[in-house]
Amino acid sequence: MAAEILDIAFAPFILPTSGALVLLIAEDTEPGEAQHAADAATQGAVSRALEAGEFKGRKGQSCIMLAPGAGLSRIVAIGLGKMAELTPHAVEEAGGRAAGAVQRDKHAAVAGALAPCQMAGLAMGAALRCYRFDRYRTKEKAEDKPRLATLHVLCAEPAAAKLAFAPLKAVVEGVFVARDLVSEPGNILTPTAMADRCEKLESLGLKIEILGPKELAKLGFGALLGVSQGSAQEPRVVVMQWMGASSGEKGKGKKKSHPAPIAFIGKGVTFDTGGISIKPAGGMEDMKWDMAGAGAVVGLMAALAGRRAKVDAIGIVGLVENMPSGTAQRPGDVVTTYSGQTVEIINTDAEGRMVLADVLWYCQERFAPKFMIDLATLTGAMIISLGHEYGGMFSNDDELAAQLFAAGTASGEKLWRMPLGEAYDKMLKSEIADMKHVGGRPGGAISAAQFIQRFVNGCKWAHLDIAGMVWTTKDAPCVPKGATAYGVRLLDRFVADHYEN
């Protein structure tokens, strides 16, 4: 289903005689075996180039040597910084920089004196950097395409590194699932098509249930159905279950009680015109990625199942298309949500919170999870607040917020906690319904979170407004230009650190 992952081969260090070689060099260590061997084979060209380029091994520093000799097309030195400050994420970024530097080479190898788990992390970063969405390019010239098919990771303990890479590869695959979904155009990735793609993940061991319009109407998903009523595309809600903790006890005789599952909910507006409150034409093409919260949840569930995570997790995504038409929802309408609460519609472009309202209450009522985390490209106000550096986090539980913040820092998908409060909640007072769903421009991301909190029903909860993080217009070490799949690695790290048995 997902884009093809770069082939990674782990092997003991032997100096290549062709292709490209990447040397990982720390700021505060003596040259290692690979650097010495490359320098000797090139009659000192490596040392001379590093000296001329004032290469010191600082984090993010690089030096490229073209046609250095010994049959090599190029040698690339990548700085790691100080070894004491070398975090797993920094290693992954080094791997991404390495892969980015040699994508034009048919053969390439990377060598460094790092521990097996670090070399596995390096391979993960390289694989993430080599993502490419090109299924609709029919006339691309061969010389414009990346040539790198296999990256040889040369290290002291290749077998151990390969073993450590196996679960990381499953996470990369989950990231690619999400990036593919977010990259697809709206005419291809309708709610029905996205639900069908979710269903294919049953091959990983996920239990998939799809609710269509008839089931949703019978259940009373008035908020979600209101968003979709202007579109010719039918809505879907997809329920994904991964019982990686409790399933391990099957067939062992005595039944054991297990803690409540953890739950992840995603906003999946496969295209958002704004509805009757239509958006400006400029930039509307970007609204194909208004389902990126749902894409992250799908990618996360694929990652957890792919690496056989020992956790019971629920993933639910609400999938709709928001279109203007003669049947579209109007500003001023009042809808009855799944919870029974009524909502006055103020702006039909504030549709994502309505999707989440029904799905969150349904999740809490059906599964009674330990906590719920929702992800949504919810507000432009969040981009104004945090730019494209942090996702916004709102939570009713300090411990949950602290765990998410730490996982964001560790994974490089950073979060910043935003406030909640009664003053913001008062902004949602309606004259004719239980509440209105928009509180105005001031503190718009906060009042949106306050609205969502009204449908949490007492469960521990965090809301991640990721509007500024799901698409990038420039390459980063582990993220090429385009869909980022922000949230997949963050939440996988969060689960691995705190909720696996």
Kindly list the catalytic residues. Answer: 279, 353
Q: In this structure, which amino acid lies at residue 470?
A: V
User: Taking each helix axis from N to C terminus, what angle separates 488-498 and 158-183, rounded to the nearest 10 degrees?
Assistant: 130
Token pair of 55 as six digits: 């290469």
Give the number of residues written for the chain: 501
Q: Let me know: does 352 contact 376? Beta carbons within 8 Å.
A: yes
Alpha carbon distance 438, 429 (integer Å): 9
State the alpha helices, DSSP H only, in 419-464: 422-425, 444-453
Q: In this structure, which amino acid lies at residue 459?
A: C
Beta strand segments in 139-261, E:
150-154, 207-211, 236-243
User: Residue 319, CB half-sphere, CA atoms under 13 Å: how many?
Assistant: 32
Alpha carbon distance 378, 375 (integer Å): 8
Distances (CA, A) of 431 to 106, 264, 347, 446, 449: 66, 33, 16, 21, 21
Token pair of 359 as six digits: 């799905």
User: How would DSSP label each residue in 25-72?
Assistant: E-TTS---HHHHHHHHHTTTHHHHHHHHTT----TT-EEEEEEEETTE
Of the candidates 39, 47, 38, 42, the residue with the CA atom closest to the CA atom of residue 16? 38
CB atoms within 10 A of CB 423: 12
**In whole angstroms, what separates CA 369 from the centre of its chain?**
22
CB atoms within 10 A of CB 474: 8
Q: Let me know: does 267 contact 290? Beta carbons within 8 Å.
A: yes
Of the candidates 281, 360, 308, the residue with the CA atom closest to the CA atom of residue 492? 308
**Burial class of residue 46 (count of CB atoms within 10 Å of its CB; 0-12, 13-18, 19+):** buried
Token pair of 377 as six digits: 């490209």
Helix (H) or strand (E) run with residue 170 in it: helix 158-183
Distances (CA, A) of 312 to 239, 240, 246, 315, 337: 13, 11, 7, 10, 28
Q: Let me know: does 354 contact 343? Beta carbons within 8 Å.
A: yes
Strand partners, 374: 265, 463
DSSP code of residue 342 = E
